Amino acid sequence: MTAVSLNNVYKTFTKTPVVNNLSFEIQAGAMFGLLGPNGAGKSTTIRMITTLTKPSQGQITVAGFDVVRQPLQVRRRIGVVLQQVSVDSDLTVWENMEFHGRLHHIPNPRRQQDIDRWLEYVELSDRRNDAAKTLSGGMKRRLQIARALLHEPEILFLDEPTVGLDPQTRRRLWEIIRDLNKQGMTMLLTTHYMDEVEYLCDRIGIMDGGSLIELGTLQEFRRKHGEGLVMKQLDDRWDYKFFPTLAEANTYLNHQPDKTGMMVRPSNLEDIFVELTGRNLD
């Protein structure tokens, strides 16, 4: 079953194309990663899928509903965790959840049971009566996730969910995200962290200049572009040469008369991303 479908989608602002003929699908239960440098069109794509911005052309369906013609049905079935911290700092943790539950018309006593359940899930039960402004950055992000899950969405959108967090907090959020996906929740993740995509996502789309330039799994990317890499240091930069296998990369290195500044290693997502876009994410 297809959870999200984009067909020939365009978005233009003041005659400037931001998203250009974008088409891809996310199957139900998948963890889909959307990568791209700044200005690639990722945020605009997320805004269109979540009904916040109308596409200029093309069709987007979410859980079988059209985002333009049936936005209310789409919103009932999605949860969104934005990069910007969007919790109300003056409300307590519980009040943030209660307000969100009422907006979604979740009746009592189910609402209180669900609030307790999700606060416990993200390990914030002991902070339920504390003002949100007293929480750390990681706790605020976990509160955003709990709030997004309160109405039991079918699909969860995570826009840079771990940006600016320390490594331990990032890992804890990874565990939460992975567990939700194992429970069957469909997810779309945008991030600037390559290791995050490699760890979490089973399918990856790479955008650049508003277009989708690569789509598949990391294994498919490595088979296509090369599983082995020979690196050579040239002054203050590295030169990369891809090979179909690690063994072929080693053979190439062994035949070099001067191996100074050279090394072999398996290719990774960042190598392929730079090869495709010609630049780093930042």
Q: What is the distance between the alpha carbons of residues 188 and 25, in angstroms, rounded to a whole number?
A: 11
Task: Look up residue 25 and give its two tokens.
Answer: 């699908």
pLDDT, average across residues 82-92: 89
Closest alpha carbon to 186 in 155, 218, 147, 220 = 155
Q: Is the pLDDT of residue 280 over 70?
A: no
pLDDT digits over 202-221, tens only?
A: 999 999 999 999 999 999 99
pLDDT digits over 229-241, tens only?
A: 999 988 888 888 9
Q: What is the distance between the alpha carbons of residues 81 and 46, in angstroms, rounded to a whole number?
A: 11
Q: What is the distance between the alpha carbons of residues 109 and 113, in angstroms, rounded to a whole number?
A: 6
CATH assignment of 2-216, among 3.40.50.300, 3.40.720.10, 3.40.50.10470, 3.40.50.880 = 3.40.50.300
Q: 168 or 69: whose pLDDT is higher? A: 69
Q: Is the pLDDT of residue 282 over 50?
A: no
pLDDT, average across residues 166-188: 92
pLDDT digits over 244-275, tens only?
A: 999 999 999 999 999 999 999 999 999 999 88
- Cβ atoms of 277 and 213 within 8 Å: the answer is yes
* pLDDT score of 85: 82
Kindly state the percentage of the chain with pLDDT values over 90. 78
Task: Look up residue 66 and give its two tokens.
Answer: 């059209």
What backbone torsions phi and psi does residue 140 show, to the nearest 5 degrees?
-65, -40
Confidence of residue 279 (pLDDT cuts 50, 70, 90): low
What backbone torsions phi and psi does residue 151 show, to the nearest 5 degrees?
-90, 15
Percentages of the chain per state (helix, strand, coil), in multiples of 5: 35, 30, 35
Q: Is the pLDDT of residue 98 over 80?
A: yes
- Cβ atoms of 252 and 231 within 8 Å: the answer is no
Per the listing, tokens 């945008």 go with 190
* pLDDT score of 3: 97
* pLDDT score of 18: 93
Task: Look up residue 44 and give its two tokens.
Answer: 């605009």
- Cβ atoms of 32 and 201 within 8 Å: the answer is yes
Closest alpha carbon to 154 in 73, 87, 71, 85 = 73
Domain coordinates of the chain in residue numbers? 2-216, 227-266
Beta bridge partners of 92: 131
What backbone torsions phi and psi does residue 6 show, to the nearest 5 degrees?
-120, 130
36-45, 101-110, 171-180, 184-193: the lowest-pLDDT one: 36-45
Q: In sequence order, which residues have a C-beta less than 8 Å from that of residue 125 and are 6 or more positions away?
A: 116, 119
* Preceding omega of 71 cis (within 30 degrees of 0): no
94-103, 160-169, 261-270: the lowest-pLDDT one: 160-169
Q: In sequence order, which residues have a C-beta less than 8 Å from that of residue 205 and are 6 or more positions away?
A: 24, 32, 33, 34, 35, 212, 214, 215
Q: Is the pLDDT of residue 281 over 60?
A: no
